[in-house]
Structure 1
Amino acid sequence: MEQKPHQPFTDLDVWKKAREFKKELESLAKTFPLDEKRRLSDQLIRSARSINANIAEGHGRFTYKDQLHFCVQARGSLSETLNHLIDAFDAKYITQDQLSFHKQKYDEIERLLNGYITYLRGKL
């Protein structure tokens, strides 16, 4: 996964996939009950947004060490997002099929993010 020095973060495959995931989850959260608006819906949206934000912030950092730190943060946000999806399933706001669909997206992003992390670790 060679990163070109001039490549913007918006060209990173992992950022693009995380953006699609975020948009899907924002739509999904709108289907939750209104009493979840300030709770699970907001938590799900915030954690999904944090994935992209951390990838972007890390990309803008000067050192590989800093870039790596923010990618690890993004991975934490990705895991948090999956946990919120499981909470939504447990509360019966989403079906097993919906959870499985989003888990596949999660798995793809996790694979890409781990590859990017491995690349950055190799640069240290």
Structure 2
Amino acid sequence: MAGNFEELNCWKECYNLKVYLKENVLIKLPKNEKFELYSQILRAARSSTANIAEGWGSYHYKENINFLRYSRGSVSEILDHSVEAKDCDYINLETLKEIRLQVEKCIQLINGYIRYLSNKNDEK
């Protein structure tokens, strides 16, 4: 088990996605989206890492898994908002493709951690 949530691969990948969004998407959104799409993307990105951290701190397998599910939902929400950004021509297709790849990796790692915790819980 990791000594800190920052050592978890799923947290690291979600953090990388958050940084990518800040550097490649949020800066491209127009001012009129500041309190709409901008805010939604930023909140979902922050939620993806925050829920992993909060679950890690709970020290109970089932509760941790629930927080991981919330994180997975936030990552999926990021993809939805990114599709919207592409549809509005705020980002290009290449940026959306990169986000899709990162989202898929985040979800795979979160699912893997959920499986790990489920197996640990079954061993109890």
**Which range, TM-score by smaller chain?**
over 0.9
1:53 aligns with 2:42: no
CA distance in 1, matches of 2:119, 2:80: 30
Cα RMSD of the aligned pairs, angstroms, is 0.9
TM-score (norm 1): 0.93
1:19 aligns with 2:15: yes
Percent of aligned pairs sharing the same letter: 38
Task: Extract unaligned runs of 5+ from structure 2.
Answer: none
The one of 60, 64, 87 aligned to 1:90: 87
1:41 aligns with 2:22: no
State the partner residue of 2:98.
101
Across the two proteins, how many residue pairs are aligned to each other?
A: 120
Residue 118 of structure 1 and its aligned partner are, at CA, apart by 0.7
- Structure 1 stretches (4+) deviating beyond 4 angstroms? none
State the partner residue of 1:8.
4
TM-score (norm 2): 0.93
Residue 35 of structure 1 and its aligned partner are, at CA, apart by 0.3
1:112 aligns with 2:104: no
Task: Extract unaligned runs of 5+ from structure 1.
Answer: none
